[in-house]
Structure 1
Amino acid sequence: MPVGLDAVVPFQVDALDARGRAVLLGDALDAILSRHAYPEPVARLLGEMAVLTVLLGSSLKFEGKFIVQAQTDGPVSLLVVDFVTPGAVRGYARFDAEEVAAAEAAGQALPEDLLGHGTLALTVDQGAHMQRYQGIVELDGASLEEIARNYFRQSEQIPTEVRLAVGRLSTRAADGSVEQSWRAGGIVAQFLPEAPERMRHADLHPGDAPEGAEIHALEDDDAWAEVKALLATIDDDELIDEGVGVHRLLFRLFHERGVRVYDPQAIGERCTCSREKVAAVLESLSDADKAEAETDGTITITCEFCSTVYTFRTED
């Protein structure tokens, strides 16, 4: 297995006051996407969301869960990806198949087209005895990369750059057939100088400001401008190419400045559902709801994440 596949690699570039994480997802992502046989545009969108969630969730310094959920008015109405520390990820999507097909036919099946407008909620859950933290950012037809940048500008006020890519890997089996599997890669970098005044931002766009209102503009710090320029040179193919890998990509980007790479953190697809948890949910339902869910003396529940089917006899 190539170094960095299904693992998050933290890095730091001291000369540019930047640090971040990079990831290349292989079998973990393929398990999530292949299980549901999503249309390709939906799979690509969910793949981007999975990479973004892993990049952000892997930075948590405690045991808990990081949840990214998008609710939209687009052909893909719901996306949910959970990251459970230290390295378990799961996800699923709800979509209108006819709307997705129509978008494909019209050449409007980019991730931002499928999302439409709505909200993206990012939730940190530290457990039953800790208060949840949630940040919400508007989905306005922009890409997930741009949405993530806006989230960090609004909530954490840290200059942040994000790159995401999803693709399919074709390999030839021993019998001559071609097998395809999903790959997705991403990198997030943040500017964290010792002098906090260097982390200056331009104001967010004022939207419906009065005509003639002055837009506050600032030039990026030279070090951060260099980081952004370097990340802009990344091709999507580099992010998902196992032959390049995370370490070679980081070396290519930052070798002139010196990049410090830390131990990778393994990532795996794992669902947290169980028969006991599903049973507890059923017990909490009213008699009327249980009766509505019953068919021929049984209640069947399918996990939307992993497609595991749980069947219960109503007499039990």
Structure 2
Amino acid sequence: MPIVLKKQKDIRKNAYFLTVHSKDSETGETLVFEGGYNAENIFREFSVLKAKGVEPIADGKVAASLQLNENSPQILLKSSGKLLKKIWIGKKKSFDSTRIVREGNEVLIVQGNTSDRFTRGIGEFRQKQLVNLRDESIVETIWEEEGKTLHLDNHPYKDQTVKKNFWRRLSGKPISLEQSLGNSWNNQVISQLVELYPDDPNGAGYAVAKSLTNVPADASLKIRISNDDWITLRYYPKTNINSIDYRPTIRIINGKFSEPPFYIREDSFLRLKEVVGNLEKAEQKKEEPANQNSLPKNPNIPSPQK
């Protein structure tokens, strides 16, 4: 089954967005997820792919022992729909972790780790971290559940060289939050991971996941990042797969890209709800950070993406 990795514009702000495309074997539908670090590494490594050895193909014949033929796995490199290179993947040399490949009329020896990534399953290319931050920070969250809204904002700052957060609750009685509670929320949000994909061997199939999310969501979490990207997470009623409780979830980026459903662990969702409860009943923090005066009193908060 082909695996397609793409760099796309106009989904994230000021950055390319990596997507991973595959066809579901059960339904025939195309599944498109955000690409993770392995997808990013593929683009990086192929842009500077170096050969350890090169041999021209004489008379168009390749030794059968190299395992290079029309039935060999192929990697197609394209730009704007135009084919740039076609690479056949051949024999792996176990003693030095290199791989024999063919490009055009040449046989090359390259490091095997790049092509080996394609043997690990498509899930290895997907972004499993629901909120993937680099140098950015979370600056706003909106939790909605059972008609109630918990609205928070965050003003990251540096205490000397240490990055810190200053969280406030804007809904209900507006207050500044104790740093430990704000950090607990921040950590819980960014620690969320995809635990299971529907097309994993034990994932119960995409058709099941689709039916489980064809109902109203139990809760949603909108997250604004410091680069003004919005991530929306929708959590659907709990299910059980192979005696493990999961929470079907959908991730939406900037209202432009919606992933197929996947599963997070139910205990991860419950930890999130526990912190939500603590945030709702929190009291005004006892002391403000030393540089409180430098923090905006009435920040101009953009409208959240739907």
TM-score (norm 2): 0.24
Larger Rg: 2
Bigger fraction of residues in helix: 1
Of structures 1 and 2, the one with the larger relative CO (CA 8 A, separation 6+) is: 1
